[in-house]
């Protein structure tokens, strides 16, 4: 059973409390980043995370999933021709499997997806590392439904963090681990902790995803 079938709706008092906690978490995130910038040591600090890389077996499938389903945008399509234009040799491109998609979401680092023969998690791999994407508190259940409607196996949502946090977990078509997370979620009381995430792989067979590959 899903949490929506097993957990009660929140009382009005809890809905207010969870929204307040969610606002506090957002403020804390902004404040902690600001504090990092304006407090000592003044030198030697790094900037934000620039990009994260993940392997895949097929860049076209990756684009279907991340752009067509998850709504990412292709920031740069670094195919062999473009890599050669910036100075890569064909031999190095092939040896390093360097062609990739640079994807962008609303914030955070780029997600660079490489067609790479190693590093794809085994079906039994633990849930770390995983990549978590933010979503609004009223959107997390519709997003779950969208993924399920396209054949993605989803675990959750549950509440692994403070009251009002909600997360669900899923894999991309290759087995890379992902999470959608929100705060200020008040639709229902969720089980505390994380769901069983051991059976998330599936056969990718999407329908109705239309992509513009001209970017």
- Closest to 152 measured CA to CA, from 132, 182, 175: 175
Give the nearest distance from C-beta 71 to Fe ion in angstroms.
19
Helical segments of the chain, H only: 3-6, 12-38, 59-63, 80-85, 90-96, 140-149
Enumerate residues 161-190 that contact Fe ion by CB under 5 A.
179
Which residue number, 179 or 189, has a Cβ lying nearer to Fe ion? 179
80 belongs to the binding site for Fe ion (CB under 5 A): no
Give the nearest distance from C-beta 135 to Fe ion in angstroms.
13
Which residue number, 18 or 169, has a Cβ lying nearer to Fe ion? 169
**How many chain residues touch Fe ion (CB under 5 A)?**
2
C-beta neighbour count of 100 within 10 angstroms: 22
Q: Where are the beta strands (DSSP E) in the chain?
A: 51-56, 73-78, 100-104, 110-115, 131-134, 154-158, 166-171, 177-182
Q: Residue with CB nearest Fe ion?
A: 132
Which position among 34, 132, 148, 211 is part of the footprint of Fe ion (CB under 5 A)? 132
Which residue number, 78 or 154, has a Cβ lying nearer to Fe ion? 154
Which residue number, 108 or 206, has a Cβ lying nearer to Fe ion? 108
3-state DSSP assignment of residue 178: strand
Residues that bind Fe ion (CB under 5 A): 132, 179
């Amino acid at each position: 059973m899903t949490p929506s079938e097993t957990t009660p709706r929140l009382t009005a008092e809890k809905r207010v409390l969870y929204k307040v906690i969610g606002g506090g978490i957002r403020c804390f995130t902004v404040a902690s980043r600001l504090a990092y910038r304006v407090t000592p040591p003044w030198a030697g600090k790094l900037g934000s995370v620039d990009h994260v890389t993940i392997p895949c077996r097929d860049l076209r499938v990756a684009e279907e999933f991340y752009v067509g389903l998850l709504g990412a945008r292709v920031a740069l399509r670094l195919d062999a021709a473009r890599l050669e234009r910036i100075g890569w040799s064909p031999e190095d491109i092939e040896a390093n499997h360097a062609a990739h998609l640079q994807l962008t979401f609303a914030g955070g680092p780029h997600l660079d997806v490489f067609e790479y023969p190693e590093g794809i998690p085994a079906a039994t791999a633990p849930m770390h590392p995983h990549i978590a994407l933010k979503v609004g508190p009223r959107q997390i259940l519709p997003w779950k439904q969208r993924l399920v409607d396209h054949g993605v196996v989803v675990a959750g949502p549950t509440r692994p963090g403070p009251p009002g946090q909600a997360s669900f977990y899923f894999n991309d078509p290759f087995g890379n681990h992902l999470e959608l997370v929100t705060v200020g979620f008040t639709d229902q009381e969720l089980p505390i902790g994380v769901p069983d995430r051991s059976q998330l792989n599936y056969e990718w067979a999407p329908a109705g995803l239309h992509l513009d590959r001209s970017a």
